[in-house]
A and B are shown apart, each in its own frame.
Chain A
Amino acid sequence: MLSNYAFIGIFAIAAITFPLLPLILSRFIRPRRPTPIKLSTYECGLEAMGDIWVQFKVQYYLYALAFVVFDIETIYLYPWAVAYGQLGLFALIEMAIFLLILVAGLVYAWRKGALEWI
């Protein structure tokens, strides 16, 4: 059973090793003689000001929210599509109702202006 997924595992290990190995290797090989100029963030240009914690607008949250709702939709759509041949017309109607209810939510968010870019 597990051997079916061995390729994915090997692929994942290779994908992790590939960027990590040069980083680790260079850490041991490189000479270390820091000067203030070498340690500056940019070679040319302005130093970054303020904190890295900038506040995002709440609109971004609403986009992410719409994304989550339709992500959930896909996890039901996928098995439905795979088994569509065995399910028949009834399942089509059921899925249409499901989608309509979710689209109603999207229309609400849209009308409310939640998806407007500001």
Chain B
Amino acid sequence: MEIAFFIITALLTIGAAVAMVLSHNAVHSALWLVLNFFGVAVLYLLLNAPFLAMVQITVYAGAIMVLFLFVIMLLGSEQGQEEVNGLPWQTPVALVMGLLLVVMAGYALFFPGTPVPTTQTPNEIGAPDILARKLFSTYLLPFEITSVLLLVALIGAVVLTMKSREGDRV
């Protein structure tokens, strides 16, 4: 039952990812990516990480994709142009190398030299309070640095987009 659910979700996620790469309209790409993020969120639920699943939906599907869609609208006039690939040999080479990567990873995963220990029955490690206790003790410094990173990102983005203030405000 659970494995069937996993396979359906995995196929949905992979299909959305492929459609994201293939679609020619940037808005469609963004919407396929949202579907992909939802699939990953369901997989987080399967992996006993319910809080992370909600974070995935609020931050990725909610905030980051909104940013993407805004920029697609901002650069709107560029749409409709046909993509011209300057390096035609790049696509087949990329496909072959990607296939090689998957085959290698599959081989390394399913024919291991040392046996992987079987998964124990998991505890409720994904609950927010357990996360918080770890986050505010062991990972305190990374947490504080995170805020500095966000500050830098905000300032950087404001400086980059407000640059042409004196002249025309695009």
Contact with A along B123-134 (1 / 0, CB 8 A): 000001111110
Which listed residue, B63, B70, B143, touches A71 by the CB 8 Å rule? Answer: B63
Point out the residues of chain A lying under 8 angstroms from B161, CB to CB. Answer: 58, 61-62, 114
A-side contacts of B151, CB under 8 Å: 101-102, 104-105
Q: Confirm or deny: B21 has a beta carbon within 8 angstroms of a beta carbon on chain A.
A: no
| B residues adjacent to A (C-beta < 8 A) | 1-2, 5, 45-46, 48, 50-51, 55, 58-59, 62-64, 66-67, 70-71, 73-74, 76-77, 79-80, 128-133, 135-136, 140, 143-144, 146-148, 150-151, 153-155, 157-158, 161-162, 165, 169-170
Question: Closest CB of chain A to B147's CB: distance in Å?
Answer: 4
User: Which of A53, A64, A73, A114 meets B70, CB within 8 Å?
Assistant: A64
Question: Measured between alpha carbons, how far is A74 from B76 in the docked complex, in Å?
Answer: 31
Identify 18 new A-B residue pairs, CB closer than 8 A, beyond the known A55-B77, A74-B58.
Answer: A53-B79, A55-B73, A56-B70, A58-B74, A58-B161, A60-B70, A62-B162, A68-B63, A69-B150, A69-B154, A86-B129, A87-B133, A94-B136, A101-B144, A102-B151, A106-B154, A108-B154, A112-B162
Q: Which residue of A lies closest to B151 (CB)?
A: A105
CA distance A51 to B76 in the complex (A): 10
| A91-B158 contact, Cβ under 8 Å, with A2-B2, A75-B59 | no
Contact A69-B128, Cβ < 8 Å, known A79-B135, A94-B143, A101-B148: no
Name 22 interchain pairs, CB-CB below 8 A, sorted by A: A2-B2, A51-B76, A58-B74, A58-B162, A58-B170, A61-B70, A62-B161, A62-B162, A68-B63, A68-B67, A71-B63, A72-B150, A76-B143, A78-B51, A79-B51, A79-B129, A91-B136, A97-B147, A98-B147, A101-B147, A101-B148, A109-B155
Nearest CB on B from A113, distance (A): 7
Residues of B within 8 A of A97 (CB): 144, 147
In Å, the complex CA distance between A91 and B136 comes to: 7
A14 / chain B contacts, CB cutoff of 8 Å: none
A5 lies within 8 A of chain B by Cβ: yes
A residues less than 8 Å from B80 (CB atoms): 53
Q: When chains A and B are docked, how far (Å) is the Cα of A28 from the Cα of B74?
A: 39
Q: Does A118 contact B (CB under 8 A)?
A: yes
Residues in chain B near residue A2, CB distance under 8 A:
1-2, 5, 45-46
Residues in A with CB closer than 8 Å to B131 are 79
Please state if B158 and A109 are interface contacts (CB–CB under 8 Å).
Answer: yes
Which residue of chain A lies nearest to B38 when distances are taken between CB atoms in the complex? A12
Across-interface contacts of A68 in B (CB, < 8 A):
59, 63-64, 66-67
Closest to B5 in A: A2
How many Å from the CB of B154 to the closest CB on chain A? Answer: 4
